[in-house]
Structure 1
Amino acid sequence: MIAPSIKALILEQCLPILITKSSDKNVVMDRMSVPATAMTGDEQLQKYQEEFVHRRLLAEVPDLIKILQDIGQKASWQNRLEHRRDQMLRGRLDVSQYIRDKRRPVERPRTFPLIIQERQFDTPENRLAAGVLGSVRLMLANEVFPTNTAESILARSHFRTLTKYSRNDVFSAGRKSSFTRKDLALARFRVARRMTGNDGPYRQLLDWIDDWLSLAGLSDGSDNDRALDLALPSSDAYWEKIFEVWCLEQVRASLIRVGWATESSFRLHAARNTGPIAQFTKNQQVVDVYFQRQAPMGKGRWLDVSTQNALVGIIDVALSRPGTAPLLIDAKFRFKVLKASTSEEQYKMLGYAENFAHSQPSSGSFGLLVFPSDIVDRKSYSRGEFSRLTTLRTDLRSDLFAAYFDEEIKSWLKD
């Protein structure tokens, strides 16, 4: 059993890259609370600003929809008096104008001067709600994630719901794509003095705006110690994906620590189907990083007896460079104490070496198994100079893991 504190640390360390990973269309999106420090005050936030804002929006929009629903059921309003003439005596007679008309010749058809009282929803707080609705619809329309992913499907669902609310008379009269600071200030004033007739939902709207602006970096006083909500799957199975992304982040950080440089964005949803997700360079040498791709291993030599199709193998992370076999990294989200056996996972890695051996530029193979644990421990096996298999148990709270991880990367690089 993996402790919640370990899960929280895994999530915090890989969150910037994790939010760029789109989910299959059948995955149910949930609302996951994450530490604000993982996405604020860091260059990663600027790099993945679009994904961050979009996931926050997908998580927060259900609250906004509920607020707009409550406002629409009992919206604030104001009376407006309109002077008009009509052949039918409806509304209130404009007596002073009627007396003045008596002194004039009678017109045919005869009309009556009327004062019509109309209820209008053009109040500062309704204009504010309409502006927020419009701006959120625009952001949802700008889809960040690929079509037919769970994130894209959820965004379109929220967009359709907000479009329906935008046709409500309360919000359509002042339909905008943004709101003004003036309306925000007036709405605060009117709600504070209970002038709206339905202060609860309008106060919730103001709180929603404050929360959104503070963590979007648009207002002062953001509190990085608190949590924020992002739209992410929260199933137990998804934690395996999170740990895989965490291992990818360790690869990125390790290569940088040992002197390699990259300009790759590490956007998982933008990665090509077969190509590397990132490329690192050093002294005119190149290392390609693959995430959940078979490409660097080549074609398997074990064939289906019926179809002759090769047995495939998808590794979590693979590092590839000319002249040597790739380094295969398998992330195992299973808690392993020191005495627990890892032979099953080790033989699986040796199976990769057997199936793809003929595709490698040398006869060797390199593998690294990573497990969360309550201790940092490393055990390596070798077969000559060109083959190495390491099992690495990691306590995420220890600095020793990074040192061991760097040594495995350097061993493969021959640095």
Structure 2
Amino acid sequence: MVAKASANTPENQLVVDALRQLIRRLNEATGLIVSAERNYSLNLLRWARERLHATPWQKVLPARSSTILRRETEHRLRKRQTGNQAAYGRLAIWYGQWTFDATLASPDLADRMVDLMLAFPAGEFFADRVFEVWCLNQVIESFRRIGAVTVEGPRLLWQRAGRSICTLRFEEYTFDVWFQKSLPSSSARWRYVHSGNALKGIPDITLIGEDSRYLVIDAKNRKSYGATRPEETYKMLGYLENFRGTFQQYPFWGALCFLSDDDLFTEVGTEGGNRLVLLGAHDNDPKVCALGGRMDTLLSEWLSLRRTEGLLASAPVPQIIM
């Protein structure tokens, strides 16, 4: 009997099966808004498709379930039968992490779960995004505490393309909570000379009421040691300057959220009702963190100025929770 060399080994079948799963998941994520994450996903999708149509993967056909293929691959690795122990060993480790289901984990897998959590990127970009999402959750929870109810959502972040994270209603007043939504470029005053394109503004969180009132919030994952933050404050006021048309009918309301251990709360205002509030979230002790209460107060006051169908709302002022 003469053995024939074949690429259709269990480990290669596992590679093809993993690529197919990856392509399916990336296809589901193509609705992401234009961002670095979306570009990376599209590049990865293109790479995976090219690999599937390249030699030798185009000739490999998975004949068993992924669970069996993974088990057979690990067995062949132990027997040193793969021909490339290092590469297929890394594949087996990656596949185990990628398909790990924490809901089915037993207590003895706690250390493994910790390792997977620590595998998330530890750079500033990831920490900044976590703080932004945390502030988004604080806003939604604040509205719920003061009596608003959910009409639609909340949606997952990757589902937000062209849609708000959620739609809420207080009494008869409906408003949307957006995450990283561009302010209307049609109202931008500043433009690039070489292209004529508008200078964009993308707050982290934007509230838009049915009466077209705005409240913009930026989350800054930075430690504040004083009562003022001039650099970030001027950036926030840049929204008012550049998009003055958007804030022409109603006063500009904004908030900046920082990390702070001294209960940061500073308010900046002008004649005409323009208002900017600096809030601090305690970065070590959630028991003394006052951001939630401060946010409740700010959002309650914003709702108290609501207009329904062009008239001042006759509904009672929402309760301010401290």
Normalising by structure 1, what TM-score? 0.55
Give the match for residue 298 of structure 2. 408
Which of 20, 23, 27 is the equivalent residue of 1:141? Answer: 23
| Change in 2 beyond 3 A, CA 1:210/1:151 | closer
Partner letter of residue 135 of structure 1? Answer: D
Give the match for residue 225 of structure 2. 337
| Change in 2 beyond 3 A, CA 1:329/1:203 | closer
Give the match for residue 179 of structure 1. 65
| Change in 2 beyond 3 A, CA 1:216/1:364 | same
In 2, are the aligned partners of 1:299 and 1:312 still within 8 Å (CA)?
A: no
Deviations 1:138-158 (A, max 9, x none): 123222333871122023224
Normalising by structure 2, what TM-score? 0.68
| Change in 2 beyond 3 A, CA 1:177/1:411 | farther
2:54 corresponds to 1:164: yes
Which SS does the other structure have where 2:45 is aligned?
helix
Give the match for residue 14 of structure 1. none
| Change in 2 beyond 3 A, CA 1:130/1:351 | closer
Distance in 2 (alpha carbons) for counterparts of 1:131 and 1:361: 61
Which SS does the other structure have where 1:376 is aligned?
coil
Q: Structure 2 stretches of 5 or more lacking a match?
A: 32-37, 305-317
2:275 corresponds to 1:388: yes
| Change in 2 beyond 3 A, CA 1:121/1:241 | same
In 1, are the aligned partners of 2:154 and 2:166 still within 8 Å (CA)?
A: yes
Distance in 1 (alpha carbons) for counterparts of 2:268 and 2:261: 22
In 1, are the aligned partners of 2:168 and 2:175 still within 8 Å (CA)?
A: yes
Give the match for residue 177 of structure 2. 289
Which of 225, 237, 241 is the equivalent residue of 2:114? Answer: 225
Which SS does the other structure have where 1:353 is aligned?
helix
User: Percent same amino acid among aligned pairs?
Assistant: 24
| Change in 2 beyond 3 A, CA 1:384/1:219 | same
Q: 1:319 Cα deviation (Å)? A: 0.7
Please list, as runs of the form range in 1=range in 2, the aligned pairs for 1:153-302 lying within 5 A after superposition: 153-161=43-51, 163-164=53-54, 166-167=56-57, 172=59, 175-176=61-62, 178-179=64-65, 194=79, 196=81, 200-201=85-86, 206-215=92-101, 222-223=109-110, 224-228=113-117, 236=124, 240=128, 243-260=131-148, 261-273=150-162, 276-295=164-183, 299-300=187-188
Q: 1:411 Cα deviation (Å)? A: 2.1
Q: 1:131 Cα deviation (Å)? A: 3.3
| Change in 2 beyond 3 A, CA 1:177/1:366 | farther
| Change in 2 beyond 3 A, CA 1:206/1:154 | closer
Partner letter of residue 164 of structure 1? Answer: A
Q: 1:218 Cα deviation (Å)? A: 6.3
In 2, are the aligned partners of 1:324 and 1:360 still within 8 Å (CA)?
A: no
In 1, are the aligned partners of 2:167 and 2:175 still within 8 Å (CA)?
A: yes
Aligned-residue RMSD, C-alpha: 4.3
Which SS does the other structure have where 2:267 is aligned?
strand
Distance in 1 (alpha carbons) for counterparts of 2:199 and 2:95: 53
Distance in 2 (alpha carbons) for counterparts of 1:350 and 1:182: 59
How many residues of Structure 1 are paired with residues of Structure 2 in the alignment?
Answer: 289
Distance in 2 (alpha carbons) for counterparts of 1:370 and 1:298: 28
In 2, are the aligned partners of 1:296 and 1:318 still within 8 Å (CA)?
A: no
Q: 1:388 Cα deviation (Å)? A: 2.7
Please list, as runs of the form range in 1=range in 2, the aligned pairs for 1:46-61 lying within 5 A after superposition: none
Partner letter of residue 204 of structure 2? Answer: D
In 1, are the aligned partners of 2:269 and 2:276 still within 8 Å (CA)?
A: yes
In 2, are the aligned partners of 1:369 and 1:390 still within 8 Å (CA)?
A: yes
